[in-house]
Amino acid sequence: MVAASARQENGRVGPNGIISMNPEIIRKIKLLQDYFNDLAPYAAMDTGEILENKEKLAAMERYFLLMADEAFDVNAALAYQLGNKIPESNKSTFYELADLKVLDRDFAEKIADSAKTRNQLTHDYDKVQDRIMVDDMKKFAEMYKEYIKILIGKFVAAKV
């Protein structure tokens, strides 16, 4: 009963079953896409090229952090709107979307590990190996590309 009222308040289910999203969530999905687009050129570079240039490494890290943080915010907003749930952690936001059938469970489990990479960049920066971190950011960039396609297909495309 509570989930239905949250749905009614923040979004509507249309005749084709597509949920009309809160405009703020749509804005955040588009912002997430922008951060991904900023990260993509760095993710396409050779790891050695990034490691040899501190500015490229710093830019890649910054864009990854912005993208990941925006994704966690989007996930939490969707979990609240669609299921009236508040996720306990950044990682769990992806599991909540799997429970709500927004994401496939296997995919959610894989991309959820991006929270670990984000936390290492933020909290354990002096302990991480740059090569491993760059390779992880590149791996997750590919997953975020798919994740953003899913969100746009389910929530943004329905608005235009």
Look at residue 145 in the predicted model and tell me its pLDDT: 98
DSSP state of 104: -
> So what's the pLDDT on residue 126?
72
Q: Which residue has the tokens 């405009």?
A: 23
Angle between helices 54-83 and 23-43 (to 10 degrees): 150
Count Cβ atoms below 10 Å from residue 109 Cβ, excluding itself. Answer: 14
Q: Which segments within 4-116 are labelled E, that is strand?
A: 12-13, 19-20
pLDDT tens series, the chain, 160 aa: 223 333 333 444 444 444 567 899 999 999 999 999 999 999 999 999 999 999 999 999 999 999 999 999 999 999 999 999 999 999 999 999 999 999 999 999 999 999 999 999 998 767 778 999 999 999 999 999 999 999 999 988 755 4
- Sequence-ordered list of residues with C-beta below 8 angstroms from that of 18, at least 6 positions apart, any chain: 154, 158
**pLDDT for position 143:** 98
Q: Is domain 2-156 given the CATH code 1.20.120.580 in the classification? A: yes
Domain ranges in the chain are: 2-156
- Between CA 69 and CA 71, with CA 33 as vertex, the angle to 5 degrees is 25
Please check whether residue 32 is in contact with residue 71, taking contact to mean a CB–CB distance below 8 angstroms: yes
- Residue 7 pLDDT: 36
Determine contact, residues 95/53, Cβ cutoff 8 Å: no
Q: Phi and psi (nearest 5°) for 20?
A: -80, 120
In 10 A of CB 56, how many CB atoms? 16
Residue 133 near residue 54, CB atoms below 8 Å? no
Residue 132: its pLDDT value, please? Answer: 94
What is the rounded distance in angstroms from the CA atom of residue 73 to the CA atom of residue 60? 20
What is d(CA 123, CA 114) in angstroms, rounded to the nearest whole number? 14
